[in-house]
Structures are given as C-alpha cells and as structure tokens.
Structure 1
Amino acid sequence: MPPYTLTIEMGRSSRNGFEEPSDLLVEIVGTLERYGLDCNDYQLYDFVDVEALAQLLNSASSDIEVRFTVEGIQLIATPEGVTVPVDEESYAVQR
C-alpha cells in the first residue's frame, strides 16, 4: 500500500455533502481525469476509502477539508466538491 497523507481542516459548512458515496466517487474520478490521470492507471481504494470519506464529509457540522494524493495528484475534498490545489494544477496538466 503506498504512503499517503491525510490532512483534515474544519470550520463552517454551507452544504450537506454528497447524497451517495458513488456521487463522491464520480467526482474524484472526474477530477483526476481532468488532470490527465486515466481511471485505468490506479486503484482508487489504494489511496482513499470513498465511503468513509463521504460519511465524514456528510457528517461534519462545520467546514471540513480533506486532502489526499492519488498517483501524485493532490486532491481536496469538501462537502462542496473535489478540487486540485492551485499550485498542483500546472503539474497535473503536464503529466
């Protein structure tokens, strides 16, 4: 199992989260594809437990930000969605 870093920051949230873990899964995979990583190039469950992440994001009573890395691309998951940090965007596009 590859090493990983998980950073959680909490504050105040404006959204209730993802309806289903599959919604979060689709958003993570879509974000990775937009940054040049084909879904056949990795096994997402090696990097993050999507069901546990969705449960965490949905149960947070305040803003929460979870950062994790998949095949060198850092992602930020919040109840509002999944993004790539600005400083990672140029790296991810060049992959």
Structure 2
Amino acid sequence: MHSPSTSRSGGPNELLVEIVETLEACGLEDDSYQLHEYVDPGALEQLIASADENITVQFTVEGIPLDVSPDGVDVIIEDESQSVGE
C-alpha cells in the first residue's frame, strides 16, 4: 500500500524537490542526509522522464522507503495485516 502522491508538472529538478519534501513530511530534516548517497538524482530524473512505460523506482533514505514514478513520489507503507507465510 502506498501513501497518496502529489502529481508533478515535469519541471527541471521538480522530482528532486518532491523527494526532499516527501522526506521532510516524514520528519527527516534536509541536513541529516545526502540524497546522492542513496540514489543518483540525475540518473533517476532522466530515467523517470524518459520512460515509455509505467516505471517505478524504489529506494530507502534513512529508513524511509520511497516509490518514485512519473506520477510522483510515494512513501511505501508496509501492510501490517500481512504476515510472512500467508
């Protein structure tokens, strides 16, 4: 299950701003991490912008799992009702 996302209009670096804003909304301060240590921001932006198909890239920053797609940035929320082995 994913949290609601915010759609992007596709401006330069808007994806990166949305990632930072999403992390801040989760309580992570922007000076507590370096995004480039978790993902190549330029490559991520190019990949999302040039994808012909629906693509999703998932990565975790300081324990916050993110799902990035052309539709926006979502925080991945584990479904606690499912347990291993079901």
Name the counterpart of 1:18: 10
Corresponding position: 1:35 with 2:26: yes
> Which ranges in structure 1 are unaligned for 5 or more consecutive residues?
1-14, 89-95
Contact 1:31–1:82 (8 Å) recurs in 2: yes
1:1-95 paired onto structure 2 within 5 Å: 18-20=10-12, 22-87=13-78
- Give runs of ≥4 in structure 1 deviating > 4 Å: none
Letter in 1 for 2:65: Q
Aligned length: 73
What secondary structure sits across from 1:69 in the alignment?
strand
Cα deviation, residue 67, structure 1: 0.0
CA displacement at 1:49 relative to structure 2: 1.0
* Whole-angstrom CA distance in 1 between matches of 2:37 and 2:10: 21
Unaligned ranges ≥5, structure 2: 1-6, 80-86
Contact 1:18 / 1:54 at 8 angstroms: preserved in 2?
no
TM-score calculated relative to the size of structure 2 = 0.77
> Helix, strand or coil: the match of 1:87?
coil
Please identify which structure carries the higher helix content: 1
SS of alignment partner, residue 19 of structure 1? coil
Once the two structures are TM-superposed, the CA of residue 85 in structure 1 deviates from its matched residue by 1.2
The TM-score, its normalising length taken from structure 1, stands at: 0.70
RMSD, aligned α-carbons? 2.1
